[in-house]
Structures are given as C-alpha cells and as structure tokens.
Chain A
Amino acid sequence: MDEMVGRVLGTVDATPLEFWVGVAEGEYLELDDVVALERVLPTGEVVKLFGTVSQVRARYEGARFDSDVFLIEDGVLPAEVIEAAQVTVTRVEPEIFVPPRPGHPVRRARGDERDQALFFDRMERKFPVGSTRNGEPLYANFEFLNGQRGAHVSISGVSGVATKTSYATFLLHSLFNSGVLGAAVVNTKALIFNVKGEDLLHIDRPNIHLDDDQRLRYAVLGLPARPFESVGLYAPPRPGSQSGVADVSSRSDITSFFWTLEEFCQEDLMLFLFADAEDERAQYTMVVFNVMAQLRKAEGVDGGAVRIEGETARTFRDLVDLIIGKVQEDDSRHDWAGPNIGLGTVNAFVRRLQGAVRHVDRLIRGDIPNPDRHRIETSGHQVTVVDLHNLNDRAKRFVVGVTVRRTFDEKEKAGQSDELLFLVLDELNKYAPREGASPIKEVLLDVAERGRSLGIILIGAQQTASEVERRIIANSSIRVVGRLDSAEAAREEYGFLPAAQRKRATILKPGTMLLAQPELPVPLVLEFPFPAWATRASEAAADLAGGGPNDPFDDL
C-alpha cells in the first residue's frame, strides 16, 4: 500500500463494477488513471479489483448554496474541498464479484499491476496501439483482429480533426513492425484507398517534421520510426492522356491503373457503374443485367479492346455508343435490353450510362499497350495505395467496388486465411450506407461477414458510424473513435463509450483516440505518435529517386 491515493467512499454506493474513491490530501487522480485495491474476504481469500478512473469531481463540503463559494473564498464560511474519482472496474481477480468496502485504501496501479488491470498480461499476441498521456504503451489483442476471435477495425470521427487516416496507417505500421505477425509478415499485405488529397502517396518517404521526441515515442512502443518500406502506388490516368500517365502532381513514379474493356465486359464490371442507391430501385437494373449478359460474349482484341458482333470498341465511349445502339435499335433491343422492356426504361438506362462516360472513360479503356502493367496488384508490395482523390463519386465507387470484389475473389480462391490482407477504406458511409442496397455494399458486407475467415481484415473509417451499414460496424471487434460531433456522440452506435467518454469524444484533440476492444470493458484513451512517413508532399524528404514532382512535358 505504498502508493495510496485515496479511499473508497461510503457516501456513494460501492459496487463490484463501479465505485467512488475519495482522493487523499496531497494526491490527485485524473481520468484514465489505473488503480487497484485488495479486499480480504472473511474466508481469508484476497480479491484484487482493478479499474480505470472514469470521472473525477471536486466539491466544497460544508457549502449548501452556490453563493457559499464566495463566502468560503472570502474566509467567512468554513468548508473543505474534497476530490473524488469514479472508478470503473476493469478486472476482478479471482472473479468473485464483491464490492470494495468503504474506507479501503486505493493505490495507483503501475507496471505489472497496470498490465493486469488492462488485461495486457492475458494477451498472448498483442500489438501497440498508442500510448497514454504519460507515455506508457497501450496494446490491443491481435487475436481480435486476425480473425481468430474477431476481426475488423472501425474508426469514426469528424473529418480533419479526428485523424482517422493517420491512425489507420499507424495501426498498419504497428502491425507490420511490432513483430506480432511473426513470420507471416512477409505475406501480409495492405490495400489502402487514398480519398483525400495526395496524402497517402508519400508514405514510403520519411517525414522531415519528425523530431526526436516523436522518435522516442516510437521507441517506447517498440516500433521503428521509419516510413513504409514496400509500397506500391496506383493512381488513375490523367484525363485525356494518350500514354495513360498517372494523374498525380506531387510525384512521378506512380503507376496508373485502369481496367481493359475486355475485363469490363467479361467480368461483369458494369454492375459497379450502377452502384448508387437510386440505381437499386430503378427499373433499368433489368437492362443492366441483360446488357452484361451480352457483353460477356465479347471477344478480346489486342491491348484490351473488344469486338462485339463484328464491331470493335477501343475506348469506353466506343463501347457505350455500341451498347446504346444495341439497346435502342429495334432489331437488337429484344436481346440486349431484354424482352418487354419499355422505351422509357431503355432511355433511363442510356441516360445513366451516358452520364458515367465522362467520369470513368479514363478508367476503362483498350487503347494503351501492355494493360497488364496497369492492373492493381496487391501481391507485389506490402502496402498498396490506390488513389481515388480526384475521381468523382461514381468513379470512386466503381474503383472501390471492382478492386475489393477482385481482391475478395482472389482470397476466396486462394483460401489461405493465415496470409492477412488489411483493407483500409475511408468514407465507408459512401460505400456501405445504412439505407438501401448496392453491389459495393454487398461486397463490403461479404468482407465484414466472411472476410474474417478468408483473412481479409477491414479497417474502415467514417465520419459517422450511424450512417454506415449496421452489420459492418457490428462485425468490427476493435472500435476507435476520434473527435466526434456532439450529436453523433449521443447515438447508440457509440454505446460502447461510457457517458464521460462520450462527452470527452467531442473535445478530443487530433492525435488522441478512444479504442474499445472486446476484452476490456472500458475503452482506452490513447495518443499515437506523429507519422514517421510523409503525409503530404511538403513533409517528404526529397531523397528518393524519381520522387520529384511530375514532369509537365511527360505526356508530349
């Protein structure tokens, strides 16, 4: 009992799950402090209770009116200040759920005791997820991430201040470098979709703003302060570019990605062009399926172009014109649009398809030689970044839908769940909204519900978990919350946060997160270090070959 900070109060009920501690003179407790106490039962058995401080309060004892505070401060009315801390019990060892008795001394838990309080001692495979405010490492149980006992991470928070993407990349860094993956690290991959600016296109370069303090924070967590080492970068081709050069301004060594018309026709990719919520309700979905059936018959020509019923299409616009001709002409409409389809429905389909051309014609094409080099491959690098940031929503959905579907299919075929693939996707509410159905939502639901057994782990992020498909959130074992909007924080999706933490979520500063994991009844409040990799061009140390800005004459 060398470090007694207070005693259990008797004026508030003490229960085995929650109790209040009067803080002793000259001591203090702050939110998230870890405490421990012992109770000896009449049988002689010793029960240890561990908990974290979930609320602290201070008040005047002896004051009865609000205005008494002025009298007390004037030295007229005698009163004493008392601080009390609410402790939420995290662990009872052995599991005899007795309340602590009023008056029991409470001490700060340190070292092994702290690990015990936070279940770190029970985690056989743990990886660092951040540190406390005073620099002690915090861990999560890998078994709840790798599919063994659970999988998936859901990160929520307001854009800009919640640092969701940074935290997702930090988690990847920790997973790849903490040693928790063991030998499997070689075959473990990550696929990240970059939705904001060119932020994630520099994660393979050291961050010049990383100072020694931050390096030390990495060291405390047992992680190297270095950028990602094996990174494959993909970006869409620049619009109008004949050579298909990547549409990125801050560096030039990026592979552009697109799908060939052949793939589009033979792999039913058209489905993902009609992936809006409004598409699902529309009549023309019938037409989409009929057209896809016809497209499957297309023959591939050199360089990804297709020949359909004698006509060759080399660009997406060619293909669309061809399809429009087929569904509108009386001779072919029966086969292409389907029997008994009204002209109104056909025209709705045509309008929709026409509308898509402008946004996706650079992503689906047959006019560039060696299209295989422009295929998104996750196998070549540890981390694959696919840039979406300058695509419009419809094109984003198409890329995400197709890429995730393909990855999922490959995993399903390989059937090896021990080789994990982490799929990092921000703006999940766009791809898997709570309302309605869409092909992309189906794919993501597949990932959420079956990915666990296939080794696909979703690290999803969204501003508002309340707008994301319930089953995806429900399947996430690890839930992370950054700064939340106060209306959002009140929603039931954040029921895992105790009341005080919900309030706190509305004032979290960038770099601080709340992380809930199944074993711990209280979410951990953690800080994570500043990225050791560049998160924008200006942070990148200019030391990589080919890392310079794009050559504007490249295309000529």
Chain B
Amino acid sequence: MKFTVESWAPEYGSPSEADLIDSSENVDPSVELSVAAWRPLTPECDPAEDILFIDGVRRVDANLWIDRSEQFPGFGLAATFAAGAVRCNGGAKVVAAEVRRGIFTGVDAAPIETSVGVYEVMSTRGSTPEELWLGIQERMGDLEGEVASGQDEASLVVVDGPLSHRRHVDRAIGYIKTQHVQYLPDALRASLATLPVGARTPIFLTTTSWSRFSWYLRLSNGSGPAGGLVRCEVKADMPVADASRLAHLVTASLPRFASARHKDPRAPQNLYPIGGLERELRRRLGDRELAIRALRSAAVL
C-alpha cells in the first residue's frame, strides 16, 4: 500500500476533505483564459513590499442560561474575540489588535460587567449552536474589517479565511486554507495536482450568494491532495484584468510566508505572519479560566 501522511496536525482536520461539495455549476472558469488554454501561470511581477495580513480569533468563554420570567431560560454564549493586523514591510509588526467580549444569544439580554471587562449584548438570529457560532463569526468579521480600515494603505491586504463576512474590506484578498467545495469541473481539477510551486491557476468566477474571482495557488510542496495548495478570492467588482494583476501579485508575494512543517501544525498553508498574529491575539484574549471565574462571580451578584 502506498500512502501519504497529511502535513497538517490531525486536530486541525485536513486542508482538503475527502468528498468535496460540487459547486462547479456556479463557476465560470473561462474569465481569464479559455478552458482549452488553461495552464499554470507564474507571476510576472515583483512581490509586494507592503503587505497587511488581517486575522481574527474567537473563544467561547462560557455557556450561559439567561433567566426569563415564566419561560425556560434562554441559551447564549459568552465569547471573547479579537482581530488584528500584521504589516510586513521589511519587518513584521503587529500594528493592531482589538479585543471584544460579547454575549451571543437570540433572547433578550443585558450587558454583563465582570472583573475582566464588560460582555456586551450581541444579538443573533436564533439560539441554535449554528446561529450563535455564525453570530460570533460575523462580529469577528466586522471587527476585522474595522481593524483593516483603520490601517494605512498597503499594496496588498490579505484576510485569513473566506471573504464572505469581510467583503467590506476594500480590495482585500480572501485567503482560504481548506478546500470543502469543488469549484472546478473535473477536467480542470486534475490540473491542480500538477500546479508547480509558486504558480497559480487562471482566475475563475464564482456566482453563488455573491460573486467573486478565485484562483488556486501552490505555496510549496506538501503532502496529501491539497499539498501546499490554497485558494484566494477577491470581490468580482473589478475588471478581470485588475483581478488578474492582483492574482499575480499575490502569487509572487505569498510563498515566502509559507510556514515550515515543524513550526506550524497547519504548515505550509498557515502563513507565518498569520500564525504569529493568531498567537498574539490569543494571548490578548486573556486567560480563559479567569474569564470563567469572572463570569461566575458576576452571575452570583
């Protein structure tokens, strides 16, 4: 039997799922090159010298039961989340880090003051776990947008994760480490396996809930089907030529930041600046035990 060991640590899952959801019918792969002319593209430009990486982290501190008169208590999550930015222009520096605390719930609630800070009410559509998670995700996305817009302009803004919740960050590149969906028709998908390091696929247009230009890019050689492969996306509100230029710039710039296997459990897809930023943000979330204790004592009062 011949097999490959996935480079990601198992607790992080796998960068590529065994069964991808086929979404190729919503994809137009011929916006940059015709399907017949599809081939790996190597960038024709110098790497960007001033890159802003944006990322966020979140943590559920506690599950809450919110008392309601004459009703079964409502469910909510007390969560802490943060967003920050790293600017890489010669040196890498964390230039922003914002922390927020919130109560995510679909029921009526009031802010909770604790010794670690105030948990503001952040209402969600419902109180199912998915809705609550989505709420946290959205708020974090908002905060990421806020952090990004507070920064001086950079030649490239890379947001960790899909753009879906951060679409308001102007000209931002969504950087997607994991592949759950099959966007390319089978005929083109095979070309991913042979994509050389430092090259990208032509741009394809996806029109699901919103329109975006995407391309795949190989950061480095990795093991497994996704081996060092990532997908990038930008909003499809620009001419294809602009998107193409941006895609080249990204392809020229990012491989340098790919992490080494022994340094990151999600190597090489988790880029060094993002890994560093995540660690810094998690540190800023504060100690979870302390947060739980603060919430418990606030509940007793």
Contacts and interface: CB of A to CB of B under 8 A. Distances in A.
Interface of A: 62, 64-65, 67-68, 71-72, 75-80
B285 interface: no
Contact of B93 (A64, A68, A71, A78): A78
Given A75-B89, A76-B257, A78-B273, 11 more contacts: A62-B276, A64-B263, A65-B262, A67-B263, A71-B272, A72-B92, A75-B92, A77-B92, A77-B272, A78-B276, A78-B277
Given A62-B276, A62-B280, A75 B263 contact: no
Interface string B217-257: 00000000000000000000000000000000000000011
B263 A65 contact: yes
B88 interface: yes
B94 interface: yes
B273 A77 contact: yes
9 contacts: A62-B280, A65-B263, A75-B90, A75-B92, A76-B257, A76-B273, A77-B92, A78-B93, A79-B92
B175 to A, nearest CB: 15
A76 B263 contact: no
Interface in B62-89: 86, 88-89
Given A64-B263, A65-B263, A79 B90 contact: no
Interface of B: 86, 88-94, 256-257, 262-263, 272-273, 275-277, 279-280
Contacts of B90: 75
B291 to A, nearest CB: 18
Contacts of B272: 71, 76-77
Contacts of B276: 62, 77-79
Contacts of B88: 75-76
B57 to A, nearest CB: 14
Contacts of A71: 272
A78 B55 CA distance: 13
A78 B92 CA distance: 5
A76 B94 contact: no
Contacts of B280: 62, 78
Q: Which residue among A64, A65, A71, A75 has the maximum number of chain B CB atoms within 10 Å of its CB?
A: A75
A75 B86 CA distance: 10
A75 B279 contact: no
Q: Which residue among B88, B263, B276 has the maximum number of chain A CB atoms within 10 Å of its CB?
A: B276
A556 to B, nearest CB: 82
Contacts of B93: 78
A72 B93 CA distance: 9
A76 B89 CA distance: 9
A379 B116 CA distance: 77
Contacts of B277: 78
A62 B279 contact: yes
Nearest to A71: B272
B182 to A, nearest CB: 32
Contacts of A62: 276, 279-280
Contacts of A75: 88-92
B227 to A, nearest CB: 21
A225 B279 CA distance: 61
B86 A78 contact: yes
A154 B277 CA distance: 56
Contacts of B263: 64-65, 67-68
Contacts of A78: 86, 92-94, 273, 276-277, 280
B186 to A, nearest CB: 37
A68 to B, nearest CB: 8
A68 B90 CA distance: 15
A76 B219 CA distance: 15
Contacts of A79: 92, 276
Contacts of B273: 76-78
Contacts of B86: 78
A244 to B, nearest CB: 78
Contacts of A68: 263
A375 B4 CA distance: 96
Nearest to B88: A75
Contacts of A76: 88, 92, 256-257, 272-273
A448 B207 CA distance: 96
A317 B73 CA distance: 116
Q: Which 8 A-B pairs have the closest CB atoms?
A: A78-B92, A78-B276, A77-B272, A76-B272, A75-B91, A78-B94, A78-B86, A77-B276
A472 B139 CA distance: 75
A233 B69 CA distance: 105
B250 to A, nearest CB: 16
Q: Which residue among A75, A77, A78 has the maximum number of chain B CB atoms within 10 Å of its CB?
A: A78
A75 B263 CA distance: 16
A152 B228 CA distance: 73
Q: Which residue among A65, A67, A71, A72 has the maximum number of chain B CB atoms within 10 Å of its CB?
A: A71
Contacts of B257: 76
A71 B275 CA distance: 12
A26 B256 CA distance: 32
Nearest to A72: B92
A91 to B, nearest CB: 35
B239 to A, nearest CB: 32
Contacts of A80: 94
Nearest to A62: B276
Contacts of A77: 92, 272-273, 275-276
B204 to A, nearest CB: 29
A64 B265 CA distance: 13
A215 to B, nearest CB: 48
Q: Which residue among A64, A65, A77, A79 has the maximum number of chain B CB atoms within 10 Å of its CB?
A: A77
B261 to A, nearest CB: 12
Contacts of B256: 76
A107 B143 CA distance: 38
Nearest to A73: B91
Contacts of B94: 78, 80
Contacts of B275: 77
A281 to B, nearest CB: 66
Nearest to B93: A78
Nearest to B53: A78
Nearest to B256: A76
Nearest to A79: B276
A80 B89 CA distance: 15
A80 to B, nearest CB: 8
A67 B260 CA distance: 11
